[in-house]
């Protein structure tokens, strides 16, 4: 679905490469989380996937990026947008309309969606994003979190094969963040939408994503199934990524011979780990 090989990119005027020697494979139906410190190149990677780099942000570009069988650089942002829906880190800059429903309508009309399909799609998108009540609101009157949901709704309406989200929960409280992840899980599980999400809330990411890629200094340091990546905690530490506390705890319990199960990625699994370790400590 997404195949990146030996890709490097340096913004015009920059002395360093923002992305360097990058390779990544994302299969159809994957739910991939991207983590890494500020300046790691996470947003730049999302720009490559929707064609903004190197078409809008120009610079030296090397390597090959294939998306849905197309050469991403040759295809360009307009062709890619038929397959790839993006929610940007700077969500304000993404919203072009003044009223919520117009924002969703705008994309649908741009895509030439037939008239009779438009209303059901608007309703579905608003409902899925959990903002049916905001349909007629002025976007300028909304909170940052609500704006993020509008951006997501307008992408959902277009039914992309791939959704790329750059820190979409940045303005959301933990409960709304969880709801957003649940929405993504449903789009992924039920509709087979491939998800690539840049996220700081690592514990939540680990619970919902199937795979993790850790970035630092324009490169992917490690990548794989969530549990496997969490176990490489020295790589996460090197990248300055906040390791979930249960991961640190599972390592300590493992070091003391109290636990040899898998690394927990949810609260329920953490509880099981604690019970097992407590049982072992008594023996």
Q: Catalog residues that contact ligand ATP under the rule CB under 6 A.
A: 11, 14, 18, 36, 38-44, 57, 89
- Report what 14 binds from Mg ion, ligand ATP, none; CB cut-off 5-8 Å by kind: ligand ATP
Q: Are 122 and 102 in contact (CB under 8 A)?
A: no
Q: Is position 43 an interface residue for Mg ion (rule: CB under 5 A)? A: yes
Unique residue bearing structure tokens 């969500």: 91
Least distance in angstroms from the C-beta of 266 to ligand ATP: 25
Shorter beta-carbon distance to ligand ATP: residue 36 or 244: 36
Least distance in angstroms from the C-beta of 177 to ligand ATP: 17
Please give the Cα distance from 140 to 150 (Å, whole number).
12
Please give the Cα distance from 243 to 264 (Å, whole number).
12
- Report what 268 binds from ligand ATP, Mg ion, none; CB cut-off 5-8 Å by kind: none
- Non-local (6+) Cβ contacts of 229 within 8 A are 211, 212, 214, 222, 223, 235, 236
Least distance in angstroms from the C-beta of 258 to Mg ion: 39
Q: Are 126 and 98 in contact (CB under 8 A)?
A: no
Rg from Cα positions in the chain: 20
Stretch that binds Mg ion, among 9-17, 83-91, 169-177, 273-281 (CB under 5 A): 83-91
Shorter beta-carbon distance to ligand ATP: residue 57 or 106: 57
Max CA pair span of the chain: 69
Least distance in angstroms from the C-beta of 14 to ligand ATP: 5
Please give the Cα distance from 168 to 187 (Å, whole number).
15
Least distance in angstroms from the C-beta of 40 to Mg ion: 8
* Contacting residues toward Mg ion, per CB under 5 A: 42-43, 89
């Amino acid at each position: 679905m997404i195949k990146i090989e030996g890709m490097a990119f340096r913004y015009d005027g920059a002395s360093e490469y923002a992305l360097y020697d990058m390779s990544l494979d994302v299969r159809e139906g994957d739910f991939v989380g991207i983590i890494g410190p500020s300046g790691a190149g996470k947003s730049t990677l999302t720009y490559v996937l929707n064609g903004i780099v190197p078409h809008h942000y120009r610079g030296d570009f090397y390597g090959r990026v294939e998306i849905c069988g197309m050469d991403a650089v040759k295809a360009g942002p307009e062709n890619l947008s038929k397959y790839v829906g993006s929610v940007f880190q700077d969500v304000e800059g993404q919203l072009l309309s003044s009223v919520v429903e117009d924002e969703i309508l705008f994309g649908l009309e741009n895509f030439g969606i037939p008239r009779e399909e438009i209303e059901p799609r608007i309703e579905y998108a608003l409902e899925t994003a959990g903002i049916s009540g905001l349909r007629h609101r002025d976007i300028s009157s909304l909170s940052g979190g609500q704006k993020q949901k509008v951006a997501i709704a307008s992408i959902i309406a277009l039914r992309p094969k791939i959704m790329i989200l750059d820190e979409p929960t940045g303005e959301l409280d933990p409960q709304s963040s969880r709801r957003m992840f649940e929405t993504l899980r449903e789009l992924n599980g039920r509709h087979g939408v491939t998800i690539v999400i840049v996220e700081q809330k690592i514990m939540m990411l680990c619970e919902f994503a199937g795979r993790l890629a850790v970035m630092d200094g324009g490169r992917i340091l490690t990548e794989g199934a969530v549990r496997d990546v969490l176990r490489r905690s020295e790589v996460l530490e090197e990248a300055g990524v906040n390791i979930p506390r249960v991961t640190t705890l599972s390592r300590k319990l493992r070091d003391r011979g109290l636990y040899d199960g898998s690394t927990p990625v949810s609260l329920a699994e953490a509880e099981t780990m604690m019970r097992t370790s407590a049982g072992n400590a008594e023996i």
